[in-house]
Amino acid sequence: MKEKLKKYIENIKNFNYKKYINTNILFLTFVVTSLINGMILRFITVHNYFAIKPVLADLAFILLIGSFVYLFKPKNRFKYLMIMSVLLTAICVINSLYYTYYMSFASFSLIAVSLTVVDVGDAVVKNVLQIRDFIFIWQLIALIIVHNKLKKKNHYNMVAKKENKKKRFTGTLVSGVLIYALFFMTVTSVEYSRLSKQWNREFLVTKFGVYTYQLNDLFKSLDAKFNTLFGYDNAAKNFREFYAEKKENKDNEYTNMFKDKNVIVIHAESIQNVALDATFNGMEVTPNLNRLKNEGLYFSNYYAQASSGTSSDTEFTFSTSLLPVTNGAVSISYWNREYETLQKLLKNEGYRTISMHANTGSFWNRINFHKSLGYDKFYSKVDYEIDEEIGLGLSDKSFFRQSVKKLKTEYDKNGKFYATLIMLSNHTPFDDLDKYGQFDTDIKEEIKKVNENGEEIAEVVSYSYMEETKLGNYFKSVHYADSAIGELIDELDSLGLLDNTILVIYGDHDAKLPKSDFIRYYNYNKETDDIIDKNDENYIQVDYYKYELDRSVPFIIWSKNDNLSKKIDTVMGMYDAMPTLANMLGVKPTYALGNDIMNLKDNIVVFPNGNWLTNNIYYNSQKDQYKVLNTDYIVDNDEISNNNEYVSRRLEISNDIILYDLIKNENDRLERVEGK
């Protein structure tokens, strides 16, 4: 062994590096350009580009796939390296695009999900696609240029005479393996755990590089397809133990408050609380929602827990009190599982369950997905007259007008109902400005002047403020959506559909607005038409945590005839809505992952990427850092550790329920036991 090691070291010392470089110019170009692209991707997404660990992982991966080039003759190697370059460039371009929209990285399991982009292609082009996403193509150009120059110099014939193909293949392959071995020696147990679970994609790209992340994701995606073959017994055991230990939601003053009442749920596309708090020139962006939140139960610290499935993830989590799946979207890949939903619980109480959305039934596979959630009837685009379009389709005002008539027919025919109405107009890119109605997002001031006749006159001066910004356009769009909700309430009332009904409104997810616009929104200086200086005492820092907290969405429960008027500040996630509503409607779920928020003073919101939020702490799992939200709160290190365990277990349990169809299998098992 010592002799072999000695010989290996001696070979390294005597290695002719100059000859190696001169005869491997194309291969080295491939390696260097691939490495740089990986660094560029980290720079424009997670801002991690000079860290040595992901560079080592990228290099090892590149050497491994590149080593096979030596199995070809020199004159044919360009084709292989070009194919590999196209693949790696595509990985970078796709992930850059994906990160812009989802703030996460793409997955092989999301190929089916990505096909839904066709239906929102205009939004992607206007709101997501950026010139920087194509910077990675320089690798292909560089490879072509180098290849053409080498070809002119008869380089490949010269290489064929001088090199030992087998030796170079083996040496490159072994080098890749050794660098991977060196890299994995630096990987911590926490990093191994997250690589295995695959749910914090930003963290994985930061620590493992994009190529190793994507390779691991491929294995995980394939593993998910064969999950019924492995791991079921352990998953089922953990599932039963978890729900045996989980405390049941206790009765409280809200139990049965709305029993047997009709329920109308408004799935409010992309509406955030920041819009409810906004005013321009004394005018509220959302006067109707503000009235509802003041008269009803308003949950002011409510957060979406959506992942790559965006709106469909929200529909799933709101209905089931489970979290989105770690790979793909439930609506696409796992819609045919058995889930316990609020819709199904209410159906057992004699409710007719209806969903309405003026988009195609195939979008997010709702035509099948909604059946799985327990809806009796799904009204889709084919059931509506497309008489007025805004953004991606039928305007919300026309959608609501037509939907109210359908609800009246359903109610007269079938009695009490649970209906979900999914809005559409307030969808990115928020650029149908001429159709939103007049709502200015500037600052207007009345200035008194004396005219040439000595008369005092008032002149209105306008400062641009949020005009012609993405956030400003968003406020205009939300103002339209709010107006549509106001008209919906009037329509429902005119037909008597509010007399024994509760209205539930939730924002499905944040609008994915640029941080720079929030900086302008909070720190605008009208005198300079720019933001105030960062050193100004009034400057509001829009850091990672401020931006994340501003992503909260409204959750309102309102009833025409009930004087509710209560604001609940306890933090809650989308998965807490189902058990909270279930208690109020007099039904009891068995497999809810969330909690009835009316029983809690503090709560933990679990985000799909491993972040979590309490009333006092926001924890960033990617950096293993947190921010204390209350200055007088003292953090116990055990609290961080315990909450991380809490989050990890719920992510695992929820994912296993979906992958292994555990609710169906558990119900089947209990039926067999009872049958005996």
Instruction: Return the domain boundaries, the chain.
Output: 9-225, 237-675
Which of 129, 340, 322, 108 has its CA nearest to residue 225? 108
Cβ-based neighbours of 556, under 8 Å, separated by 6 or more: 289, 292, 293, 296, 297, 298, 299, 503, 504, 505, 506
Residue 3 pLDDT level (bands cut at 50, 70, 90): low
Which of 266, 290, 265, 288 has its CA nearest to residue 276? 290
Residue 20 pLDDT level (bands cut at 50, 70, 90): confident
Contact status, residue 358 vs residue 425, Cβ threshold 8 Å: no
Residue 529 pLDDT level (bands cut at 50, 70, 90): very high
- Give me the DSSP letters along 175-215: HHHHHHHHHHHS--HHHHHHHHH---HHHHHHHHHHHHHHH
Contact status, residue 363 vs residue 424, Cβ threshold 8 Å: no
From the number of C-beta atoms within 10 Å of its C-beta (0-12, 13-18, 19+), residue 14 rates as: exposed
Query: Could you tell me the CA-to-CA distances from 351 to 12, 119, 267, 355, 586 in Å, in that order?
Result: 77, 33, 19, 13, 13
d(CA 664, CA 14): 65
Residue 613 pLDDT level (bands cut at 50, 70, 90): very high
Please name the residue ranges forming H helices in 283-434.
Answer: 287-295, 310-320, 330-333, 342-347, 366-373, 396-414
- Strand-pairing partners, residue 556, are 298, 505
Which of 494, 438, 484 has its CA nearest to residue 287? 484
Which amino acid is present at 628? V
User: Per-residue pLDDT averaged across 586-607, rounded?
Assistant: 96
d(CA 195, CA 207): 10
pLDDT higher than 90, residue 117: no
Q: What is the DSSP letter of 426?
A: T
As given in the structure block, the two tokens for residue 207 are 């620590």
Q: Are strands 566-568 and 297-303 parallel, antiparallel or unpaired?
A: parallel
User: Per-residue pLDDT averaged across 402-406, rounded?
Assistant: 98
> How high is the pLDDT of residue 327?
78
Burial 316-352 (b: 16+ CB within 10 A, else e): bbbbbbbbbbbbbbbbbbbbebbbbbbbbbbbeeebb
> How high is the pLDDT of residue 94?
87
Which of 320, 310, 312 has its CA nearest to residue 343? 320
Please count the other Cβ atoms lying within 10 Å of the Cβ belonging to residue 586. 16
Q: How many residues does the chain have?
A: 676
Contact status, residue 194 vs residue 40, Cβ threshold 8 Å: no
Cβ-based neighbours of 654, under 8 Å, separated by 6 or more: 322, 323, 593
Cis peptide preceding 429, ω within 30 of 0: yes
Which of 609, 640, 474, 601 has its CA nearest to residue 544? 609
> How high is the pLDDT of residue 47?
78
% of the chain beyond a pLDDT of 70:
92
User: Per-residue pLDDT averaged across 591-619, rounded?
Assistant: 96
What three-state secondary structure class fits 36?
helix
Residue 336 C-alpha from the chain's centroid: 22
User: Per-residue pLDDT averaged across 202-215, rounded?
Assistant: 90
User: Per-residue pLDDT averaged across 420-446, rounded?
Assistant: 95
Q: Which of 96-100, 164-168, 309-313, 567-571 has the highest mean pLDDT?
A: 567-571
Which amino acid is present at 251? D
User: Per-residue pLDDT averaged across 535-558, rounded?
Assistant: 96
> How high is the pLDDT of residue 673?
79
d(CA 30, CA 357): 48
63-67, 138-142, 274-278, 326-330: which has the minimum mean pLDDT? Answer: 326-330
Write out pLDDT tens, residues 56-112.
999 999 999 999 999 999 889 999 999 999 999 999 998 888 787 666 788 776 655
Which of 208, 441, 236, 196 has its CA nearest to residue 326? 196
Residue 323 pLDDT level (bands cut at 50, 70, 90): very high
Which of 557, 563, 412 has its CA nearest to residue 497? 412
> How high is the pLDDT of residue 194?
80
- Looking at per-residue confidence, does 129 or 502 come out higher? 502
User: Per-residue pLDDT averaged across 452-472, rounded?
Assistant: 89
Q: Which residue has the tokens 């009034």?
A: 538
d(CA 557, CA 298): 7
- Looking at per-residue confidence, does 100 or 610 come out higher? 610
Q: Which residue has the tokens 């989105």?
A: 324
Which of 419, 552, 425, 430 has its CA nearest to residue 485? 425
Which of 286, 346, 254 has its CA nearest to residue 507? 286
d(CA 289, CA 482): 6
Contact status, residue 596 vs residue 613, Cβ threshold 8 Å: no
pLDDT higher than 90, residue 565: yes
User: Per-residue pLDDT averaged across 242-261, rounded?
Assistant: 94
User: Per-residue pLDDT averaged across 248-266, rounded?
Assistant: 96
> How high is the pLDDT of residue 13?
57
User: Per-residue pLDDT averaged across 294-300, rounded?
Assistant: 98
User: Per-residue pLDDT averaged across 536-546, rounded?
Assistant: 95
Which of 268, 259, 254 has its CA nearest to residue 416? 259
Residue 1 pLDDT level (bands cut at 50, 70, 90): low
Largest CA distance in the chain: 106
Contact status, residue 185 vs residue 57, Cβ threshold 8 Å: no
pTM: 0.85
106-120, 324-338, 608-622: which has the minimum mean pLDDT? Answer: 106-120
> How high is the pLDDT of residue 121?
46
Query: Could you tell me the CA-to-CA distances from 165 to 160, 162, 250, 308, 449 in Å, in that order?
Result: 9, 10, 72, 44, 86
Helix axes 77-102, 201-225, angle to 10 degrees: 110
Residue 2 pLDDT level (bands cut at 50, 70, 90): low
Which of 180, 182, 155, 157 has its CA nearest to residue 65? 180
User: What is the average pLDDT value for the chain, to the nearest integer?
Assistant: 90
User: Per-residue pLDDT averaged across 335-364, rounded?
Assistant: 96
Write out pLDDT tens, residues 355-391.
999 999 988 999 999 999 999 999 999 999 999 999 9
Residue 248 pLDDT level (bands cut at 50, 70, 90): confident
As given in the structure block, the two tokens for residue 264 are 């109308």
Contact status, residue 593 vs residue 550, Cβ threshold 8 Å: no
Is the CATH number 1.10.645.10 carried by domain 237-675?
Answer: no
